[in-house]
Amino acid sequence: MKQTLAVFLLIGLLTGPIAYSQQLGCEELDGFADFAFWIGEWDVFDNATGNRAGENSIQSMEQGCMMLERWTSSNGVTGTSLNYYNPVTREWRQVWVSQGRYSIDIVGGLRGDSMVLEGSIYNFAGAVWDFRGSWTANSDGSVRQFFEQFNHDSGEWDISFDGRYVRKSE
C-alpha cells in the first residue's frame, strides 16, 4: 500500500507541472504568435500564372502551441505539415509529408516581416536538396508563400513555388 501511494505521488509530482503548463496554452508566450498570420482557410494561387493552385487549411492546435496544415492541390495531390515553435531553441520548425512521396524539414523564424524557414527536401527515392521557404503577410490580408530549392547541377536556387494565399469567403 505504501509503495502504491509513493508511486502515485511521484507520478503526480512528475506530471503535475506538465499538465498545468499544457492548460495554459501558448498564445501569450513569446514567439508562438509569430506565424499566426498564416492561420485560416485559404484559396492558393500561383503568382507566375494567376491560376488557382489549390486550397490550404492552417489550424491552430493545442491551445496555440502548434499549427496543422492540410494542403490539397487543384489536381488532388495532398500534403500535411506540423508547424511549431520551440521556446528553447527559439526557432519555428515545419515538418511536411506529401502523398507525392517527399518530405520537407525546415527551421527558422521571423526575418523582418517574413517567416523564413530553411532546411532540406527529400524524395522517397533518397535524393536530398537544400530548401527554403518564406511566408509574408500582405497589407490586403493575403499571404505570399515563396519556396526555393537548390539546384545541384547549376549551383543556383530555383523557384519551387511562388503563391498567394487569399482567405476563403465565409
Query: 112-117 contacts: CB < 8 A, separation 24 or more?
Result: 113/137, 115/34, 115/35, 115/38, 117/92, 117/93
Burial code (b: 16+ CB inside 10 Å, e: under 16) for 10-42 equals eeeeeeeeeeeeeeeebeeeeebeebebbbbeb
Amino acid at 74: S
What pLDDT, on a 0 to 100 scale, did the predictor assign at position 43?
A: 98
Assign residue 148 the CATH number of its domain: 2.40.128.20
What pLDDT, on a 0 to 100 scale, did the predictor assign at position 10?
A: 45
Rounded Cα distance between 135 and 156, Å, is: 21
Q: Is residue 93 classed as helix, strand or coil in its secondary structure?
A: strand
Tell me which residue range forms the domain holding 162: 2-167
Give the model confidence (pLDDT) of 98-127 as tens digits. 998 999 999 999 999 999 999 999 998 999
CB-based contact 92:37 (threshold 8 Å): no
Low-confidence ranges of the chain (pLDDT < 50): 5-10, 13, 19-22
Of the candidates 148, 144, 149, 138, the one whose C-alpha atom is nearest the C-alpha of residue 163 is 144
What pLDDT, on a 0 to 100 scale, did the predictor assign at position 118?
A: 98
Rounded Cα distance between 101 and 85, Å, is: 26
113: which 3 cell numbers? 516581416
Rounded Cα distance between 131 and 20, Å, is: 37
Strands 156-167 and 91-98, sheet pairing: unpaired
Whole-model pTM: value is: 0.84
What pLDDT, on a 0 to 100 scale, did the predictor assign at position 156?
A: 97
Structural domains counted in the chain:
1
